[in-house]
Amino acid sequence: MSKNPVYPLIFTDLDGTLLDHESYSAKPADLLIQQINRQSIGAIIPVTSKTRAELAALQKSVPLGDAISVTENGSVIHLPLGYPNEGASDPVTVRSGIAYAEILHQINALPQKLRQHITGFSDMSEAAVSKATGLRLRAARLAKDREASEPFLWSGSEAALQELGKCMADARIRMQRGGRFYHLTGDATKQQAMACIKSEFAKRKPEADVLSVALGDGPNDLGMIEAADIGVIMPNPEGVSIHSSKSHVRMAPAPGPRGWVIAVRDVFAELGLILTES
């Protein structure tokens, strides 16, 4: 067995996982994030359907710092200074899949029988996005500032939805289901982004055993959760929405940031990592 120190990478969804589903607050998880960052015994990596603009605004209230982050369901990886190489003079953005304009082009090229049932963020005003998401108007504006994915509401039948998925697949566009919306992206997933980042950390920390821990509550998180070394499914207030039979996947005891804190503390304790209170 390896005697190297363990360095956990905490890949976390935001809405309904690190953030409360209704209030969008990270309390009390924000205090635990500060402890982990202060002790440098792991890294917190947001992996979200949110945009870069939304995440930048969130970082003003949640102490995520200048960590690596993944936005738009795995479509865009944001690397701070020093990544992917020490000589980098500016932050680096790595986009996987297809640009936003091409996704919109493919949506608008759909047969009308399918297009009429799609209401995407590009179809909505800021006020409509605010109403559909519960976000404040300014936050809704940031949610519309997209680079590589399109969330949408669907009003058609299940059969028509399956047909839509096939049409999008023919255009090399993946359809994923999130908590409230469906998402159209290029060939990019949260688990692909997680694997890329874990590989980068393993190169940078050869003295440590880099371990991936993934937490999420939606169908678009399940692949990431199951691909991690340790996966945690977060229940939602109405009950668990996703399930896994994998032995390394567990259930958090409570939804949102309260359950997140318990789950992450349990993982750190199992790994023998001591979190100090000061």
Report the interhelical angle of 29-39 vs 256-270 (nearest 10°): 30
CA angle 149, 151, 154 (to 5 degrees): 140
Mean pLDDT (whole number) for 195-203? 93
State the pLDDT confidence band at 237, using cuts at 50, 70 and 90: confident
Amino acid making up residue 223: G
Question: In angstroms, rounded to a whole number, what is the distance separating the alpha carbons of residues 200 and 72?
Answer: 20
Residue 81 has pLDDT above 70, yes or no: no
pLDDT the model gives residue 82: 64
Amino acid making up residue 149: S
State the pLDDT confidence band at 3, using cuts at 50, 70 and 90: confident
Place of tokens 């297809």: 98
pTM of the model: 0.89
Which of 84-98, 133-147, 220-234 bottoms out in mean pLDDT, i.e. has the lowest? 84-98
State the pLDDT confidence band at 238, using cuts at 50, 70 and 90: confident
Residue 43 has pLDDT above 80, yes or no: yes
Question: In angstroms, rounded to a whole number, what is the distance separating the alpha carbons of residues 260 and 18?
Answer: 6
As annotated, the residues of the chain forming the CATH 3.40.50.1000 domain(s) are 6-95+189-270
Mean pLDDT (whole number) for 123-127? 98
**Containing H/E element for 57?**
helix 52-58
Beta carbons of 28 and 264 less than 8 angstroms apart: no
Residue 12 has pLDDT above 80, yes or no: yes
Residues constituting the chain: 278
Residue 155 has pLDDT above 80, yes or no: yes
Mean pLDDT of the chain: 91
Residue 278 has pLDDT above 80, yes or no: no
Assign a CATH topology to domain 6-95+189-270: Rossmann fold (3.40.50)
pLDDT the model gives residue 196: 93
89 or 256: which carries more pLDDT confidence?
256
State the pLDDT confidence band at 47, using cuts at 50, 70 and 90: very high
Question: In angstroms, rounded to a whole number, what is the distance separating the alpha carbons of residues 47 and 42?
Answer: 16
What percent of the chain lies above the pLDDT cut of 70?
94
Residue 84 has pLDDT above 70, yes or no: no
As annotated, the residues of the chain forming the CATH 3.30.980.20 domain(s) are 100-185
State the pLDDT confidence band at 87, using cuts at 50, 70 and 90: low
Assign a CATH topology to domain 100-185: Threonyl-tRNA Synthetase; Chain A, domain 2 (3.30.980)
Which of 54-68, 103-117, 240-254 bottoms out in mean pLDDT, i.e. has the lowest? 54-68
Q: Which two tokens stand for residue 62?
A: 């949640």
pLDDT the model gives residue 72: 94
